[in-house]
Structure 1
Amino acid sequence: MLLIDAAYVHDLLTYRDCIPVMADAMQMLSSGTTEQMLRNILPLDHGRMFGIMAGTMGPGGAWGAKLVSVTPERADPSIPSHQGVVILFDPASGAPACQVEAGAVTAIRTASASAMATDRLARADAGVAAIIGTGEQAWHHALAMREVREISEMRVWGRSTQNARALADRLSQETDCPIVVSETVQQAVDGADMISTVTAAREPVLLADWVQPGAHINLVGSSFDGPREIDNALIARSRLFADSSASVRAQGAEFRHALKSGAISDAHLLGEIGEVLSGKIDGRVGADDITIYNSLGHVIQDIAAAALIFQKARAGA
């Protein structure tokens, strides 16, 4: 079995290659080709969790599982809070084919999926991007957005101004577009065409009144029913699309909170990004639409990304 560490993942899995793979995976999910379990989270001591996710790409395709430990409180903050592996099986022999470090796969495939949704849902002339958050996903989302739109300005906001400046400095060294550190979320999203919320916020940090007509939002930070990044009014103003409708209905905090409050009906969730990609449902229908891609993350994305990594590694790329 091939063992692939984080450094090798970063060498092999580029946004440019991963974005179309995410598009294919989401279309397969929406067509019913794939099978996946809703994530199982086992509570541990001291607020720790163990996540188990399994899925298959369908007949003749790869299958596997993702195993992740979550340790919010740790003695050494340099150690990632999420650690794990993706195990990929060989569809021909049924044997384990490779074990891939999950943190790097998750970071790149999540940002690539958001970029894929942005490419389909954002206006063609979108150029101003706002990144709300300063963690690993903020870094990857900022870079991935450059693959699908010409970015004229990138705004960065974080609860820690020091962290926001550090992220902006890193991005300035990596990109040739202007990077601006915003003092508030409202300032960051004022006039922004593409907004990615990648925070650990427990309560909404992005409000409807701050978002201009025509903006596209990648809603990424909350992956279970509890923490919310945006308010009910913004959900109600939007054309809302899920990565998986079943998962958003079961675990999407923003959708479930807005539904429970009466701000929306169940029909407000228009469908899945895979259905938009296949042409089954409309995405953006007007220049002033506010579109939202609600990303909870799915093991199908991990398996598809791991399969690409395995193919490249086996080919000696």
Structure 2
Amino acid sequence: MATILAIDADALPVDPLWLVQRLRDGHRQGVGEVERLLLQEPGAENSLLTWTAWQPGAALGAKLAAVFPGNEGRGAGPNIRSVIVLFDGQDGKPLAVITGESFTRAKTAADSALGADLLARPDAATLAVLGAGAQAQTQIRYLLAVRPSIRRVAIWNRTVEKARALATSLSVPDIEIGAVEDAETAVRDADIVSCVTASRDPVLLGSWLKPGAHVDLVGSFIPEMREADDAAMRRARLFVDTRRFAVGHCGEFTQAIAAGVITADDVVAELAELCTGTPGRRSAEEITLFKNAGGGHLDLMVARAVYDLAAGRA
């Protein structure tokens, strides 16, 4: 029987720019088949997400993610825990079982970073991060990697102490990192705004966005969740990682479409199209918005990269 690698992603150092490039290459190779199953605990906000994907001839796999949004707030560990199983695309043999909280964090951050690399202004100097949970630190690291022009990071969180703690924990040469007490202050001067919350009400108002800003929405994955208001959706040119999951499942889109603010046709392109030549930003003054909705194809691409790294093939 073939050896199945047991990989702890937390013990595997991954270079952000390398992983972003692997995602870019994966999209150029073709997304393949993707499916999603969502189970929600009755009367609670807890969820079990199952992402499956198949890149024919290359690999197939599944990720199971238990999402418990209240964990971090009550000291019960991370909000998201996951297990990924990777299979060979030639004969179906299992190759690896991947655990570790850093897997989903790195996948999520790389997805956003690739979107920002394709859409944000190349001279972006200020990053605003709304949310200071476990994802925020990885998000900052990956966005700084693709935009080394950034010189200031402003962090906001509903509990300002968490924002201050995150800012204190980060130290990057020549970059000012600090907490702010209100979201508007963080956003007004920002060239990139990354929202990493589990909010059901908008934390980002479109009226705060300056011309040329790039918005990165991460948190929502069901119709009842949203991080940006209708004005942000109306003002921005809209991009997604995957149309199917962003438009069909994420509250920024489902609610704005239901209200007649936008239509599904307002989505200019998804990530695979941007990676294969569809133009993104058209001017320095344009506001772009990228919805990071996830998808099993992203998990599969990252699983393949992690497997290659652990097997000494990277």
Question: What interval of TM-score do these two structures reach, taking the shorter chain for normalisation?
Answer: over 0.9
* Residue aligning to 2:79: 81
Equivalent positions of 1:186-201 (< 5 A) are: 186-201=184-199
* Residue aligning to 1:71: 68
Mapped pair 1:234 → 2:235 = no
* Residue aligning to 1:3: 6
Equivalent positions of 1:156-235 (< 5 A) are: 156-172=155-171, 174-235=172-233
Q: Provide TM-score, normalisation by structure 2.
A: 0.92
**SS in structure 2 at match of 1:147:** helix
Mark the CA change 1:212 to 1:35 in structure 2 (over 3 Å): closer, same or farther.
same
How far residue 44 of structure 1 moved from its aligned partner, in angstroms, is 3.6
Report percent identity of matched pairs.
34
Aligned residues: 308
Mark the CA change 1:208 to 1:112 in structure 2 (over 3 Å): closer, same or farther.
same
* Residue aligning to 1:90: 88
How far residue 270 of structure 1 moved from its aligned partner, in angstroms, is 1.3
Q: Provide TM-score, normalisation by structure 1.
A: 0.91
Mapped pair 1:291 → 2:288 = yes
Question: What amino acid maps onto 1:247 in structure 2?
Answer: F
Q: Residues 59 and 86 of structure 2 are in contact (CA less than 8 Å); yes or no, is this contact kept in structure 1?
A: yes
How far residue 170 of structure 1 moved from its aligned partner, in angstroms, is 1.0
* Residue aligning to 2:27: 26
* Residue aligning to 1:155: 154
The Cα RMSD (Å) is 1.9
* Residue aligning to 1:123: 121
Question: What amino acid maps onto 1:243 in structure 2?
Answer: D
Which sits farther off after the overlay, 70-79 or 197-206?
A: 70-79
> Aligned partners of 2:264 and 2:182: how far apart in 1?
32
Question: What amino acid maps onto 2:306 in structure 1?
Answer: I
Mark the CA change 1:28 to 1:235 in structure 2 (over 3 Å): closer, same or farther.
farther
Q: Residues 86 and 102 of structure 1 are in contact (CA less than 8 Å); yes or no, is this contact kept in structure 2?
A: no
Equivalent positions of 1:19-58 (< 5 A) are: 19-29=20-30, 33-37=31-35, 39-44=36-41, 47=44, 48-57=46-55
Equivalent positions of 1:125-140 (< 5 A) are: 125-140=123-138
Q: Which runs of 5+ in 2 are unaligned?
A: none
Runs (4+) of structure 1 exceeding 6 A deviation are none
